């Protein structure tokens, strides 16, 4: 399969959207589920803010690329006002509008999270959670997902929400390996590991549901580009599950018993590798949603 320049740009911008959505989801997950020091809260809020700003940029670029692709006039077509207005009235424009709203809500909520008033912080956290739900829901409004059954779109929503919270939390956890002492880090990792079981369960539940709805026969895994890409994603998810098991059962328990600095260093490197695998998972997801689609099974 040879991709056009617009397809490549659409793929890269979609991947960038996924990355920034994951940053917001992971940041919200950490802020809402783990007790953190004030300094760590501030850093995670900055992380979410950056994800929101870059997300707005990625959504804008992705929309311009789609305008250019539909205009069929080279790169000049990206500035076609008539096509811009036309697409805005379609599901493509609807999804863009909701994504921009989701990123803007996440940006404002991340700033309000630093307010000294507890009531404001609580309202900001609720707004941040709403933004993650809104962003996850937008991926069922346009593209290949529109052609799917409503139950399949629900599975996609749950899958993106769970994967986003999981992968998006890697950077804060990686950073805490340098800023927290071993005991505090163990407490955070234990808490994340406990909640991670729920995330893994949601990933497996939604992923299994999608596979059941998309593939009629097992051989479609190997006989279609879509199936091969899904198989690659399953392989990457398996690797990331092995990393999670390594952390939960080997590295994290040793934080309280063995050479703490050495264990923190090993855990930090392991999380960095896990994050790289997470980036590949999001890249595969971008390929599945942008270049390939369920129709490639036929």
When divided into structural domains, the chain yields a total of 1
pLDDT single digits (tens) 54-95 = 999 999 999 998 888 877 777 777 777 888 888 888 888 888
Mean pLDDT of 270-288: 92
If we measure between CA atoms, which residue out of 241, 157, 229, 242 comes closest to residue 201? 241
Q: Which residue has the tokens 């808490």?
A: 191
Residue 73: strand pairing partners: 75
Distance CA(67)–CA(78), nearest Å, equals 5
183/175 Cα distance (integer angstroms): 15
State the average pLDDT over residues 113-125. 93
Residue 174 CA to residue 170 CA, distance in Å, equals: 6
Contact between 211 and 226 (Cβ < 8 Å) = no
Chain segment 193-235, per-residue pLDDT in tens? 899 889 988 988 888 888 787 776 666 666 777 778 888 888 9
pLDDT at 168: 96
Taking the C-alpha atoms of residue 176 and residue 184, their distance in angstroms, rounded to an integer, is 9
Which CATH number fits the domain that encloses residue 119? 1.20.1630
Q: What is the pLDDT of residue 164?
A: 94
Residue-level pLDDT at 212 = 80
Q: What are phi and psi of 259, to 5 degrees?
A: -55, 105
Whole-number pLDDT of residue 143: 57
| DSSP code, position 247 | I
Most confidently modeled of 31-35, 44-48, 74-78, 190-194? Answer: 44-48
Helices 170-179 and 5-33: angle between axes, nearest 10 degrees: 50
**Residue 173 is encoded by which pair of tokens?**
């956890």
C-alpha count within 13 angstroms, C-beta hemisphere, residue 251: 22
Average pLDDT over the chain, rounded to an integer: 87
| Strands in the chain per DSSP E | none
pLDDT at residue 255 is higher than 90: no
* pLDDT for residue 297: 40
Going by C-beta distance under 8 Å and a sequence separation of 6 or more, which residues neighbour residue 88?
96, 97
Tokens of residue 98, six digits: 């909701």
**CA-to-CA distance for 99 and 20, rounded, in angstroms?**
11
pLDDT at 298 over 60: no
- Cβ atoms of 177 and 273 within 8 Å: the answer is no
166-200, pLDDT tens digit by residue? 999 999 999 999 998 999 999 999 999 899 889 98
Decide which of 92 and 271 is more confident.
271
Q: What are the structure tokens assigned to 226, written together?
A: 């879509």
* Amino acid 29: pLDDT: 95
Tens digits of per-residue pLDDT, 142-158? 655 556 677 888 888 99
Q: Given a cut of 80, is residue 268 above it in pLDDT?
A: yes
| pLDDT given for residue 72 in this prediction | 73
Residue range(s) defining the domain that contains residue 216:
5-297
- Residue that has been written with the tokens 């939390």 in this structure: 169
What pLDDT is stored for residue 158 in this prediction?
92
Express as a percent the part of the chain with pLDDT over 70: 91
Residue with tokens 């599901």: 91
């Amino acid at each position: 399969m040879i991709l056009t320049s617009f397809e490549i740009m659409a793929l890269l911008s979609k991947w960038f959207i996924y990355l920034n959505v994951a940053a917001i989801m992971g940041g919200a997950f950490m802020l809402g589920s783990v007790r953190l020091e004030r300094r760590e809260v501030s850093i995670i809020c900055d992380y979410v803010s950056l994800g929101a700003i870059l997300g707005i940029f990625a959504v804008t670029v992705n929309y311009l690329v789609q305008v250019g692709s539909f205009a069929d006039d080279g790169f000049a077509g990206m500035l076609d006002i008539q096509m811009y207005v036309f697409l805005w009235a379609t599901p493509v424009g609807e999804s863009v509008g909701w994504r921009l709203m989701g990123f803007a809500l996440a940006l404002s909520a991340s700033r309000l999270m630093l307010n000294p008033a507890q009531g404001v912080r609580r309202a900001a956290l609720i707004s941040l959670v709403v933004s993650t739900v809104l962003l996850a829901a937008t991926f069922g409004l346009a593209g290949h997902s529109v052609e799917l059954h409503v139950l399949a779109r629900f599975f996609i929503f749950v899958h993106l929400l769970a994967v986003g919270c999981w992968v998006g939390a890697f950077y804060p956890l990686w950073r805490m390996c340098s800023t927290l002492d071993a005991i505090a880090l163990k407490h955070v990792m234990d808490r994340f590991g406990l909640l991670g079981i729920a995330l893994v369960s949601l990933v497996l539940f939604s992923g299994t549901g999608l596979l059941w709805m998309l593939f009629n026969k097992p051989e479609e895994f190997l006989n279609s580009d879509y199936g091969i890409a899904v198989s690659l994603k399953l392989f990457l998810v398996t690797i990331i599950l092995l990393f999670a098991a390594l952390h939960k059962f080997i590295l994290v328990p040793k934080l309280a018993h063995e050479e703490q600095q050495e264990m923190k260093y090993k855990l930090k490197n392991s999380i960095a590798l896990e994050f790289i695998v997470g980036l590949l998972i999001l890249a595969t997801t971008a390929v599945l949603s942008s270049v390939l689609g369920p129709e490639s099974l036929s």
